Structure 1
Amino acid sequence: MFKHAIAAVLLASANVAAPAVAQPAPAPSTAQAPLQLWRLDCGEFVIKQYGAFFSDTFQYPRGPKNIVGSCYLIRHGDRYMLWDTGLTDALVGNTFDNAAQTLRLRQSLVDQLRQIGVRPEQIELIGISHWHFDHTGQAGRFPQARLLMGRDDVELLRGTPSPDQDSTDALAHWLNGPGQIQQVSGDHDVFGDGRVVMLTTPGHTPAHYALLVRLASGPVLLTGDLYHFTEQVANRGVPPFNHNRADTLASMDRFDRIARNLGARVIIQHEPADIAKLPAFPQAAQ
């Protein structure tokens, strides 16, 4: 611009003839803490020549395409997590325009959270799908939160020169300051019960992540930027701004298999038709 270890414990003593048998890990339970998912408005984009912008194989036609930015609030019992933080809220009431795209933001995350009675200081966790500026822009509004982000993306932003100064600035509180940061490698079970899992899907960036949310109504998969719009799924479209093409294609394959195996509702975070699969804010999916 998405660690599990199952330890088998073997008990033996002189008075016990047979060892204990390791039990399989329990399936994720929806009878635990309530789980809710809100979709939040995190920007609007007009991509002026989307064929050149989104395809490294000249797949798509010339001309403009409208896409959106979406972020997500997850409530796990009395704990709150944001997934991605969208464009900077400096764009509220303003428009950014260049030769490639036009960017707008109608409302800040803080204002949207206020509408559902959630204060910024209640956000315990921020999960970032990848380092691009349109996914990191409002993170600084939640300095008390622990940042969850792929290790290789973190190291990239800490490098000199930064690949994107806007993203580095947006995450400076965690990259070089006092903020709590957890650098994630591999899949990461966020709350420890299998219901919210960061899925490693590298390629678009070195440590890109998607997110699995196992709602009571059925699992939801949030793509990050593994896909940007519907046509990419069938076409296996890879944009020119991409870290590793082979890794991206392998991640698409993994993601699609997970979606089929779980019967998950896939939400392409930049696709207007996909975010409409979730209830309109301020309603939550459950």
Structure 2
Amino acid sequence: MKKWIVKAIQAGSIVLDRSAMTHYKGKGEQITVPIWCAGATDGEHKVLVDTGIRDLEEYRKAEPGVIQTPEQDTVAAVRRIMGWEPEEVDIVINTHLHCDHCGSNAKFRKSKFYIQKKEWEAAFAPLVPEVPFYDSLCYDKNAVNYFQWEFLNGDAEILPGLRVITTPGHTRGHQSVLFHTEAGVVCVSGDICNVAENVNGNLEPNIVVMVPETYESFQRIRQSSHYILPGHEPAVKDGAETFIQVL
């Protein structure tokens, strides 16, 4: 089986209270967290996990502390870290459809997109607490042609050494992405784990729509993965290939 190389790609950052990542732990402590995408290749395929922000001012309505430098624009960041142009990306996997994880989907016109069908449906009918984080302009028919989508109904092998697993909790149809690498299995978790403390400390993030399922998702990640790139982990460096150990 081919081994994958996975790199962290920073598409912005958010200044917020630490407790927003850790179920009220650390309240009053201001931190800056990255917005992570990931690029991965097995030497043949070019895969992008999540696509960052669509519109900085629009996203600021949901997250007032968001910051994005020109080099963190998703296309510029993918080019800087991976050396890829948008039309070279074969596959985009959205962990979920919150607007900081699928915002630049429209820029990848030649990619095949993988999403859980449950997540795609939920994004067009969000629950009240979810409304600020779903922006249909990121994933509607004008952003992604319907025939670009590959809808999944559960765990799936995408390519040898590349698998998605369902990790609901943060959203109803959330998924995480597993890569078989030289170091072991790397989980690009999306926001079921905002930070590594969520999975390693069994500590739910604050935006949760399904509580029992969140803890079941943590367990799935612990059972399957050696390392994790959480959606907003500040200890990971831009361009890193080394991630946080799953305990």
1:75 aligns with 2:44: no
The equivalent of 1:13 in structure 2 is none
- Secondary structure of 1:114 counterpart: helix
Q: Which has the larger radius of gyration?
A: 1
The equivalent of 2:68 in structure 1 is 105
- One-letter identity of the residue aligned with 2:68: L
Aligned length: 237
Does the 8 A contact of 1:43 with 1:105 survive in 2? yes
The equivalent of 1:202 in structure 2 is 168
Identity of aligned residues (%): 20
Distance, in Å, in 1 between the alignment partners of 2:149 and 2:59 is: 30
Instruction: With the length of structure 2 as denominator, give the TM-score of the two structures.
Output: 0.83
C-alpha displacement of 1:215: 1.4
The equivalent of 2:6 in structure 1 is 37
The equivalent of 1:265 in structure 2 is 227
- One-letter identity of the residue aligned with 2:149: I
C-alpha displacement of 1:208: 0.9
Distance, in Å, in 2 between the alignment partners of 1:190 and 1:99 is: 32
1:39-96 deviation digits (Å, cap 9, x = unpaired): 211110101x332x3455x4332231211111111123332111001122x43xx897
Distance, in Å, in 1 between the alignment partners of 2:4 and 2:191 is: 24
C-alpha displacement of 1:98: 6.3
| 1:160–1:277 CA distance, 2 compared to 1 (3 A) | closer
| 1:218–1:277 CA distance, 2 compared to 1 (3 A) | farther
Q: Which runs of 5+ in 2 are unaligned?
A: 243-247
| 1:255–1:96 CA distance, 2 compared to 1 (3 A) | closer
- Map of 1:22-101 to 2, 5 A cutoff? 29-30=1-2, 35-47=4-16, 49-51=17-19, 53-54=20-21, 56=23, 58-88=24-54, 90-91=55-56, 101=64
| 1:220–1:240 CA distance, 2 compared to 1 (3 A) | closer
| 1:73–1:277 CA distance, 2 compared to 1 (3 A) | closer
Does the 8 A contact of 1:39 with 1:278 survive in 2? yes
Aligned-residue Cα RMSD (Å) equals 2.9
Does the 8 A contact of 1:147 with 1:174 survive in 2? no
Question: Which deviates more, 101-110 or 172-181?
Answer: 172-181
The equivalent of 1:154 in structure 2 is 120
| 1:160–1:153 CA distance, 2 compared to 1 (3 A) | closer
- Secondary structure of 2:36 counterpart: strand
- Secondary structure of 1:136 counterpart: coil
The equivalent of 2:245 in structure 1 is none
| 1:153–1:175 CA distance, 2 compared to 1 (3 A) | farther
C-alpha displacement of 1:174: 7.1
| 1:36–1:279 CA distance, 2 compared to 1 (3 A) | closer
| 1:212–1:275 CA distance, 2 compared to 1 (3 A) | farther
- Secondary structure of 2:198 counterpart: helix
C-alpha displacement of 1:198: 0.7
| 1:146–1:167 CA distance, 2 compared to 1 (3 A) | farther
C-alpha displacement of 1:182: 1.1
Instruction: With the length of structure 1 as denominator, give the TM-score of the two structures.
Output: 0.72
The equivalent of 2:135 in structure 1 is 167
- Secondary structure of 2:96 counterpart: coil
- Secondary structure of 1:42 counterpart: strand
Q: Which runs of 4+ in 1 moved over 6 A?
A: none
